[in-house]
């Protein structure tokens, strides 16, 4: 009788075992699917983070943020809220103020005119270029600030101001002797050579003029204002623009008329500068104005 009872139980036990096996298989498949989904999610997240990091590395502001960003409040305090007394000069794209940081360091703050798309482009252009340039005859960029329409660039402060003041300001008590003139010409030439041949990519300044040459305490020249600069790609000898921007009197004819941009246009401007330094006379009698 017990054997018959066991025989009756065997089919149900086998069915139960099959059910348990099937459940185990399903559970294993489900676990594998969940694990696979988790792995795929982790993989996708890692790829996403890498893409974000790559995008940040490509973004000039993100790339240099930690080292170059200045707080607007700090710059306002340094320049006494951009007071007229601290104004160093004014150009076509901005006004430059002298500032003093809490540690006593002197800086020059260029406040771009207008919160326009072009102004932001100018900011990005100068940050990208100057952050990578290291040469004794180029003004050193120390940082930037972009906040609610205010766009500013922070440079090292060059004590003696622009070459323009020494050449053409009749009230300027300091005059340049022949040795200083030679050293200034040589320094400008070295800075241009670095931009054209040694920087990567090569750079065409497009607005070399006496007002954009600053003189330090040793009367060594430093090329400033890279807002109009253009990059020259590897293997290219020139590029083209539909909008010639610069300063009349310093602009090469092929650039002013046809928009042809090459290192030669900086050489033309340099030649004009040499004549101005030697003769202490402007290249034209009328007021020099930028082409809009």
Q: What 8-state DSSP symbol labels residue 261? A: E
What lies within 8 Å, CB to CB, of 252 at 6+ separation is 264, 265, 268, 269
Q: Is 209 annotated as a binding residue?
A: no
Q: Is 204 helix (H, G, I), strand (E, B) or coil?
A: strand
Q: Is 111 annotated as a binding residue?
A: yes
Q: Is 81 annotated as a binding residue?
A: no
Q: Rounded to whole angstroms, how far apart are CA atoms 224 and 221? A: 9
Which residue out of 58, 150, 207, 216 is catalytically annotated? 207
For 77, counting Cβ atoms within 10 Å of its Cβ (0-12 exposed, 13-18 middle, 19+ buried), the class is middle
Q: Rounded to whole angstroms, how far apart are CA atoms 109 and 92? A: 15
Q: Can 216 be counted among the known catalytic residues? A: no
Q: Rounded to whole angstroms, how far apart are CA atoms 96 and 86? A: 9
* Residue 175 backbone zone (phi > 0: left; psi -120 to 50: alpha; other: beta): beta
213-215/221-223 β-pairing: antiparallel
Beta strands in 129-261 (DSSP E): 141-147, 150-156, 202-204, 213-215, 221-223, 230-232, 239-240, 260-261
- Computed from CA positions of residues 139, 141, 146, 152, in that sequence, does the dihedral angle turn out positive or negative? negative
Q: Count of H helices and E strands in the chain? A: 8, 11
> How many other CB atoms are found less than 10 A from the CB of residue 161?
16
Binding-site annotation, residues for Mg(2+) = 212, 225
Binding-site annotation, residues = 111, 212, 225
Q: Which of the residues are catalytic?
A: 207
């Amino acid at each position: 009788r017990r054997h018959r009872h066991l025989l009756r139980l065997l089919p149900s036990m086998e069915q139960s075992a099959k059910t348990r096996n099937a459940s185990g298989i399903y559970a294993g498949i489900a676990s594998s699917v969940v694990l696979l989904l988790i792995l795929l999610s982790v993989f996708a997240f890692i790829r996403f983070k890498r893409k974000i990091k790559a995008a940040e590395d490509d973004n000039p502001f993100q790339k240099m943020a930690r080292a170059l960003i200045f707080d607007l409040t700090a710059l306002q305090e340094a320049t006494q809220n951009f007071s007229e007394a601290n104004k160093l000069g004014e150009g076509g794209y901005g006004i430059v103020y002298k500032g003093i940081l809490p540690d006593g360091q002197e800086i020059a703050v260029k406040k771009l005119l207008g919160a326009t798309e072009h102004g932001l482009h100018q900011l990005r252009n100068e940050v990208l270029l100057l952050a990578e340039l290291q040469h004794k005859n180029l003004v050193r960029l120390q940082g930037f600030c972009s906040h609610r329409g205010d766009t500013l660039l922070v440079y090292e402060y060059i004590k003696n101001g622009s070459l323009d003041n020494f050449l053409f300001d009749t009230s300027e008590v300091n005059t340049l002797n022949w040795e200083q003139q030679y050293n200034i010409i040589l320094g400008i030439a070295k800075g241009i050579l670095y931009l054209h041949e040694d920087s990567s990519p090569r750079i065409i300044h497009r607005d070399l003029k006496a007002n954009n040459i600053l003189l330090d305490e040793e009367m060594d020249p430093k090329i400033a204002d890279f807002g109009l600069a253009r990059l020259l790609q590897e293997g290219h000898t020139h590029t083209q623009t539909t909008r010639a921007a610069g300063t009349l009197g310093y602009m090469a004819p092929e650039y002013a008329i046809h928009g042809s941009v090459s290192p030669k246009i900086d050489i033309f401007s340099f030649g004009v500068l040499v004549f101005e330094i030697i003769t202490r006379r402007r290249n034209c009698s009328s007021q020099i104005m930028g082409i809009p």
